[in-house]
Structure 1
Amino acid sequence: MRITDTDIALANALADAAGAAIRPLFRAAHGLEIKDDASPVTLADRAAETAMRMLLVAEAPRDGVIGEEFGIASGQSGRDWVLDPIDGTRAFIAGRPIFGTLIALMVDGWPVLGVIDQPVIGERWVGAVGRSTRFNRAPAATRRCAKLSEALLATTSPALFDAGQRPAFDRLDATTRSTVLGGDCYNYGCLASGHLDVVVEAGLKLHDFAALVPVVEGAGGRMCDWSGEPLTADSAGEVIAAGDPARIDDIIDVLAGHAR
């Protein structure tokens, strides 16, 4: 699938529209509510997704839309835009600028274009199949990691792993050099820019991970599920991101309880 300059320009325009809706509500009266699944939502989440959907109706009316807040609008093109207006709403409501807007373009269920945008501090990663990831228009690159014991690991929270997943994460935590908690999608941007080595999470939904794959892989890293399979629309939400693809098998073995 060839990604065009027009696709990338539209993805950037979507991020701009979302940011314009989010910034006035950051550290302001944001209208917090709790959804049926116990996750938080604010006026900023809804305003940002509404702004992006309006732009897609105008610019890509045949494409489908899959959004965290307003669900699925089917298309006719085989292309779907996957939107998470604020990934890290808890960070947003706490006034911490480590949340992000996630925008992905998927073709036949495969993520081919992704944006991680932090609208408050003005940081944006854009990745696309066949192109190098850009961070604020400059090249982004992951770093090499000679062995897992030297890796800097990140995850949003160990509490988000279920009873079957938590021991696997604890093994990885014990194997790596150090672990950073918090960060949501921002961790993957930091990994793409060479500041982290590994991010492992579980329980993610499509809107949480689709945009991350082109960003990480376009910077030289690799993403997959806990079995090593590529991440697609059918993935269950167990996610590995490695800045150095050579460490993927090591990570999978530790998660599975196999000695290295």
Structure 2
Amino acid sequence: MTATQAISDHAENICNLASKTAMHYFRGALGVEFKADESPVTQADKAVETEIRRYIKQHFPDHGILGEEHGREDGKDDRLWVIDPIDGTRSFLSGHPLFGFLLAHIVDGTPEFGAICMPVLNETFLGLKGIRATLNGQPIRTSPKRALADAILYINEGEKIYRDHPLVFDRLLQAGQTRRFAYDCYPHALLAAGHVDAVVDYDLQPYDFLAVSAVVEAAGGIMTDWQGQPLTLNSNGAVVSAANPELHAETLKTVSG
């Protein structure tokens, strides 16, 4: 068993812990604050991250940790956990069930393992690089569709894309066989499971996309930045997920014009 496989064995415990903590607060009284960038944070965000940090430090005391709410904690530079305690805080605080918990393990700068946990739906997507992707323990695989004209395309953060890249937005409105507007991690999870064919996303942070990219790629898909470059801790947060190389290349062309 590799070190990464051993780490993945803790994923179910971590996801269960995160889900239990998040659901304790969901649709309840929330203390909501706003950060400098006007993004919201709740008691649940802080509580989930605190619990997961405690678990990781107990089982992997020499590993580094990067979390959305509490920043970077020193450890091995080549072994880093990346946590998004509530991916979709605006969904969470409005009672919408499609928020998630994201966890990635980064080895030498590359996402080797990712988890997407959807607490309300009781769905846990796990991805182990080059080995497998699963949904609640069952194998999943991306769609075989190769042409964007036949694809189900999700546009995440559409208002931000429209604000900053109106020509890209216009091209996306004409792409795909079916288009949906959405937010956060779940469209990418649906892509990993073969229900969605391509996702264009924007204005993300490493804790938003690194776990997701590990799951998508373990399921046979591809996830890069808008220039087609692999995702790293330093990526700019504009990303494209697709079910296969052909669909990914066509979606990139649509984004780039």
Q: TM-score under structure 2 normalisation? A: 0.95
Conserved? CA contact 1:125–1:133, under 8 Å: yes
Deviation (angstroms), 1:213? 1.1
Give me the whole-angstrom Cα distance separating, in 1, the residues matched to 2:140 and 2:106.
Answer: 22
Q: Which residue of 1 aligns with 2:63?
A: 63
Deviation string 1:47-83 (CA, Å, 9 cap, x unpaired) is 0000000011111111000000000001125110000
- Residues 163, 27 of structure 1: alpha-carbon distance in 2 compared, 3 angstrom cutoff: closer
Q: What displacement does 1:3 show? A: 4.8
Q: Give the C-alpha shift of residue 107 in structure 1.
A: 1.1
CA displacement 1:156-203 (0-9 Å, x = unmatched):
331122644332132122121222112410111111111111111121
Q: Which amino acid aligns with 2:213?
A: V
CA contact 2:5–2:128 (8 Å) conserved in 1:
no
Distance 1:155 1:66 in 2: 27
Distance in 2, Cα, partners of 1:216 & 1:3: 21
Tell me the residue number matched to 2:255: 255
C-alpha separation between the residues in 2 aligned to 1:50 and 1:166? 39
Q: Deviations over 1:79-121 (max 9, x none)?
A: 1000000101111112111110000000121111000001122
Q: Report sequence identity in percent.
A: 38
Rounded Cα–Cα distance in structure 1 between residues aligned with 2:155 and 2:102? 17
CA distance in 1, matches of 2:65, 2:256: 35
Please show how residues 82-93 of structure 1 align to structure 2 within 5 Å.
82-93=82-93
Q: Aligned partners of 1:169 and 1:151: how far apart in 2?
A: 17
Secondary structure of 2:124's match? strand
Q: CA offset at residue 232 of structure 1?
A: 1.2
Q: Does residue 116 in structure 1 map to residue 116 in structure 2?
A: yes
**1:161-200 equivalence runs, <5 A:** 161=161, 163-200=163-200
Could you tell me which residue of structure 1 aligns to residue 47 of structure 2?
47
CA shift at 1:130, angstroms?
Answer: 2.2
What is aligned with 1:81?
81
Distance 1:63 1:162 in 2: 39
CA distance in 1, matches of 2:8, 2:142: 21
For residues 120 and 198 of structure 1, the distance between their equivalents in structure 2, rounded to whole angstroms, comes to: 24
Judge which range, 132-141 or 160-169, deviates more. Answer: 160-169
In structure 2, do the counterparts of structure 1 residues 128 and 15 end up closer, same or farther at CA, with 3 Å as the change threshold? same
- Equivalent residue, structure 1, for 2:32: 32
| 1:211 maps to amino acid | A
The alpha-carbon distance between structure 1 residues 144 and 173, as it changes in their structure 2 partners (threshold 3 A), is farther
Three-state SS of the structure 2 residue aligned to 1:142 is: coil
In 1: Cα distance, 2:171 partner to 2:162 partner: 14
The separation in 1 between residues aligned to 2:174 and 2:18, in whole angstroms, is 38
Number of the residue aligned with 1:202: 202
- The number of aligned residues is 257
Q: Secondary structure at the match of 1:200?
A: strand
- CA distance in structure 2 between the aligned counterparts of 1:223 and 1:169, rounded to whole angstroms: 19
1: CA distance, partners of 2:30 / 2:125: 26
Residue 72 of structure 2: SS of its match in structure 1?
strand
Dislocated runs of 4+, deviation >3 Å:
2-5
SS in 2 for 1:78: strand
- 1:135 alignment partner in structure 2: 135
Q: Deviations over 1:29-56 (max 9, x none)?
A: 1222222210111111110000000011
Q: TM-score, normalised by structure 1?
A: 0.94
Q: CA deviation at 1:10?
A: 2.1
* Aligned residue type for 1:191: L
Residue aligned with 2:10, SS: helix
Structure 2 unpaired stretches of 5+: none
Match of 1:242 in 2: 242
After the TM superposition, which of the residue ranges 42-51 and 169-178 deviates more from structure 2? 169-178
- Is residue 88 of structure 2 the alignment partner of residue 95 of structure 1? no
Instruction: Report the secondary structure of 2:132's partner residue.
Output: coil
Report the equivalent of 1:232. 232
The answer to which structure has the higher strand fraction is 2
